[in-house]
Chain A
Amino acid sequence: MSKVKCDHCHLEFDDSVMIHDGEYRFCCNGCRGIFHLLKDEGLESFYSKMGDTTLSPPTETYEASSNFDTPAFHERFVTLSKEGLNQVSLIIEGIHCAACVWLNEKALHKMEGVIEAHINYTNNKARITWDPLTVNLSSIIDMIRAIGYNAFPYDASLQEVRANKERKEYYLRMAVATFATMNMMWIAVAQYAGYFTGITQEIKTILNVAEWVLATPVLFYSGWVFYRGAYYGLKNKAVTMDLLVVTGSSLAYLYSIYITVLEKGEAYFDSVAMIITFVLFGKFLEVLSRKNAADTLDIIGKHIPREVSIVEGESIRSVDVNEVKEGDVIVIRSGERSAIDGEVISGEGSFDESNLTGESEPIFKRIGDRIISGTTSIDALIHYRATKDFAHSTLSNLVNLLENAMAQKPSIEQLANRLSQHFSSTILFLAIGTFWGWYFLPHSFDRSLMVGISVIIIACPCALALATPVATLVGLALGAKRGILFKSAAQIETMAKATMVVLDKTGTITQGRPEVVYATIHSPFEIGALHTLVSSSKHPISRGVMEYLERTEEGIDSFSIEETREIPARGMVGRYNGGMIAGGNAMLMQELGIHVDASSDKSLFYYAVDNRLVATYELRDLPKERAFESIAALKGSSLRVVMLTGDHEAAALRVASEVGIEEVYAHLTPEGKAAFIESAHNEGHIVVMAGDGVNDLLALACADIAIAMGNGSDIAIEVSDVVLMNDSLTSLAEAFGISRKTYGLIKQNLAISLVYNSITIPLAMMGYIIPLIAAISMSFSSLLVVGNSMRVRWLYK
């Protein structure tokens, strides 16, 4: 048997299973369709461009593209350009290579009415401008899907735009500062050589003027951020590091101009440029690793349905959620998410409430039961009466609480910030003292001023400004390599100081989905038939059984089962080979007249053929691999480990004893979890919370550090400060290790720069500092700090 490449996606398959189409081979009809489309459009050069990359074959199940044309969608995502054209930001799924970007841009450009399509290869974000009179968005989306990709909108919110703008601004300032400083260095070399070997005053003045020209944009353009920072600091009556930088560099600048014009003494232009450049670099690193809290709320908003279907007499009408009044009758179909609280008046079916309660088992709802907003219907088609309007429904309340919690998130003051305040005021005080000391000793005004300024210059916090950003950057890189993403650098320090870890049960300690732990086969049966039956359902229990079968059995044949039917909250039945097969819980078996022993604290799945029980599967949510060791490691680093869960007590206690946690709080609502973290705060704990679901959101937002699991819900990832990409508890323990190492490094770096200053400042006060020494000491202390940070890479392998 020979493997053949599919002509579209380039994945290799057996020749026998391929679709033969003339000289071409395709793995599926989707690939064939795209291949012919590209050929017809004259875009087949895509295949020569993509080289060795393989694509993922297209999937067929998409949300209807007409959703993209609704007014609600437009209001939310579409913006108007200056020319009156529509613009939307999309994320394109399925981009594997540069050729994919090329193909998407080309295909869109070929469409009538698409004015501009710009796709960013790095983050797969696209910005599309089109003329709404010629083409509508749904056909643009259809085009993207037709060539084998998918697109979904995202809110390119103001915050993101602003963050990008700020970053770009820093790039520009950095470019100017680096250019000027580097050029200044070779002029300075001539200056220093002249200082030791003799130089005519004329040449010296020429060099000084050149340095003056270079230092001016550095101080006033690149250094503008420090002037701004110092101004706002003074407004709040605080002596900041910015103030020290600004006074030091401005005084040195003015003094140097004075020297240049009077043609006597040494100018300090190179120090001015170096201070600004080094400190700006430290600030730039901080800006790069900052996270935007406001973006988070946009993402949460995206999960709230915008429209609901309400019943008016015979007809069903879509209305905006805000227009729904108490007493309106709302229809909810399978797969839809409810936006409004209410009470069921007709129909029945299961609801997935896991994102609110954290319980993995779907809840069966019948007439009279309460529907909570934010829950998703699994298989139910029901009508329910709204008991609250949108603004008072559970989901909106949760979002409001979340907004408050995020706004009031406690911030642990960073060591460097606290230190730099004292440092700045001390240095300014010392400099003024030195000046007066020299002036009264008595010395000339010039000389005293120069010595005073040299104190500020030599103390200028280059090393201090670099100490934290460089160390955290190393920490961030270390974490990223291990799949631990710290979203913002400041969090590393807070995490290192944490005293308490709070863990959610489902999805964090456990795997979040039931697995078969024990199978009893009462009499032999056709495995394939059971496999086909369970794979027709999306219920977590069926999924668990399906995975178990695929794991333990080899070569499962697929069977055609007729009349497969899902019975809500019971299981499913089907007809196969003339007989009836049924798989489900004890309730289903009893209804079929089969007596089963249902006394187990685990979930049980029964399988019956022709009303005879043939197999029983026991399922439960197992703890993750190496959970016990990781929890032990956390405890070992003197952290108080607590487990919170919305689940019932018995399940919680069993998991807790398996992984070795003594402190367990079960049956908690989302608000209850948050309240628990609040009370821990009041006891003086710094709390780290790890969770994965919407039910943990509030608690995550309240905690000092929120950690989300990589495959948790999008919202949880957004709210959190740290994301564990591989979902394991081992990386949680590792995250603590890395943050503590990094914090240790920050402290070392700060100590280095302080010790350094305590040696050089007395020298400066005694008047021994010349420009050359100032420049060397500045570079040397910065190098020391950077070098020390790099050391961790070898230490922490």
Chain B
Amino acid sequence: MDSWVIAMMLGASLFLGAIALSAFLWGIKNGQFDDETKMMNQVQYDDERELNDAANQQRKKEEYKPE
């Protein structure tokens, strides 16, 4: 009976860890860690206006997508 608790806990924690790892791998593949200096400064440009600008830019980008 005890051993099943251990097995379950091991399984659950490894599963959670694997989720975190895959999120990290996704970030690397996406190029989010390519520019460490910019990443550290990104927090300064985080207000509502920046968000709007980013959304506008996204829209602009989509307009040029081939139909």
Contacts and interface: CB of A to CB of B under 8 A. Distances in A.
Contact of A168 (B28, B38, B57, B61): B28
A172 B21 CA distance: 10
B24 A175 contact: yes
Interface residues of B, number: 29
B64 A85 contact: yes
Given A122-B38, A210-B14, A102 B65 contact: no
Interface in A110-142: 115-116, 119-122, 131
Contact of A210 (B10, B21, B29): B10
Given A98-B44, A206-B3, A120 B21 contact: no
Interface string B38-67: 100100110000000100110011001110
A210 B28 CA distance: 26
B17 A179 contact: yes
Contacts of B41: 98, 101, 121
A119 B14 CA distance: 38
A131 B64 contact: yes
B25 A176 contact: yes
A35 B33 CA distance: 33
A115 B56 CA distance: 11
A317 interface: no
Given A109-B53, A109-B57, A214-B14, A121 B37 contact: yes
A257 to B, nearest CB: 18
A783 B56 CA distance: 52
B1 to A, nearest CB: 11
Contact of B14 (A49, A175, A202, A213): A213
Nearest to A114: B60
Contacts of B14: 183, 210, 213-214
A42 B24 CA distance: 37
Contacts of B29: 168, 172
Contacts of B10: 187, 206-207, 210
A186 to B, nearest CB: 10
B66 to A, nearest CB: 5
Contact of A84 (B6, B35, B66): B66
Interface residues of A, number: 32
Interface in B1-32: 3, 6-7, 10-11, 14, 17, 21, 24-25, 28-29
A533 B26 CA distance: 63
Contact of B61 (A116, A171, A202): A116
Contacts of B64: 83, 85, 115, 131
Contact of B25 (A121, A172, A210): A172
A106 interface: yes
B38 A83 contact: no
Main secondary structure of the interface of B (DSSP, over half): helix
Contact of B21 (A106, A171, A179, A213): A179
Contacts of B3: 200, 202-203, 206
Contacts of A203: 3, 6
A49 B41 CA distance: 11
A83 B66 CA distance: 6
B60 to A, nearest CB: 7
Interface string A600-633: 0000000000000000000000000000000000
Contacts of A101: 38, 41
Contacts of B21: 175-176, 179
Nearest to B47: A45
Contact of A206 (B7, B45, B57, B61): B7
Instruction: Find the residue from A101, A121, A214 having the highest chain B CB count within 10 A.
Output: A121
A217 to B, nearest CB: 9
A109 B56 CA distance: 9
B53 A98 contact: no
Contacts of B36: 122
Contacts of B7: 206
Contacts of A109: 53, 56-57, 60
B43 to A, nearest CB: 10
B38 A49 contact: no
Contacts of B61: 115-116
B28 to A, nearest CB: 5
Contacts of A179: 17, 21
Instruction: Find the residue from B29, B45, B53 having the highest chain A CB count within 10 A.
Output: B45
Interface string A127-170: 00001000000000000000000000000000000000000100
A6 B60 CA distance: 36
Nearest to B56: A109
Nearest to B7: A206
Contact of A121 (B35, B57, B60): B35
B12 to A, nearest CB: 11
Contacts of A175: 21, 24-25, 28
Contacts of A213: 14
A213 B65 CA distance: 43
Interface in A60-111: 83-85, 98, 101-102, 106, 109
B38 A172 contact: no
Contacts of B56: 109
Nearest to A51: B44
Nearest to A81: B64
Contacts of B45: 49, 98, 102
B28 A172 contact: yes
B35 A83 contact: no
A533 to B, nearest CB: 46
A131 B6 CA distance: 59
B9 to A, nearest CB: 10
Nearest to B58: A116
A98 B17 contact: no
Interface string A193-216: 000000010110011001001100
A718 to B, nearest CB: 23
Interface in A522-560: none
Contacts of B35: 120-122
Contact of A183 (B17, B25, B38): B17
Interface in A254-283: none
A110 to B, nearest CB: 9
Nearest to B57: A109
B25 A122 contact: no
A122 B33 CA distance: 11
A122 B41 CA distance: 11
Nearest to A183: B17
A85 B60 CA distance: 13
Contacts of A84: 66
A83 B65 contact: yes
A578 B5 CA distance: 104
Nearest to B27: A175
Nearest to B62: A115
A120 B34 contact: yes
A750 B3 CA distance: 45
A736 to B, nearest CB: 33
Nearest to A117: B57
A588 B7 CA distance: 96
Given A120-B38, A122-B35, A179-B21, 19 more contacts: A49-B44, A83-B65, A83-B66, A84-B66, A101-B38, A102-B45, A109-B53, A109-B56, A119-B38, A120-B34, A121-B38, A122-B38, A168-B29, A171-B28, A172-B25, A175-B25, A203-B3, A206-B6, A210-B14
11 contacts: A84-B66, A101-B38, A109-B53, A115-B60, A116-B57, A168-B28, A175-B28, A176-B21, A206-B6, A213-B14, A214-B14
9 closest pairs, A vs B, by CB? Answer: A98-B41, A121-B38, A121-B37, A120-B35, A206-B7, A210-B10, A202-B3, A122-B37, A179-B21
Interface of B: 3, 6-7, 10-11, 14, 17, 21, 24-25, 28-29, 33-38, 41, 44-45, 53, 56-57, 60-61, 64-66
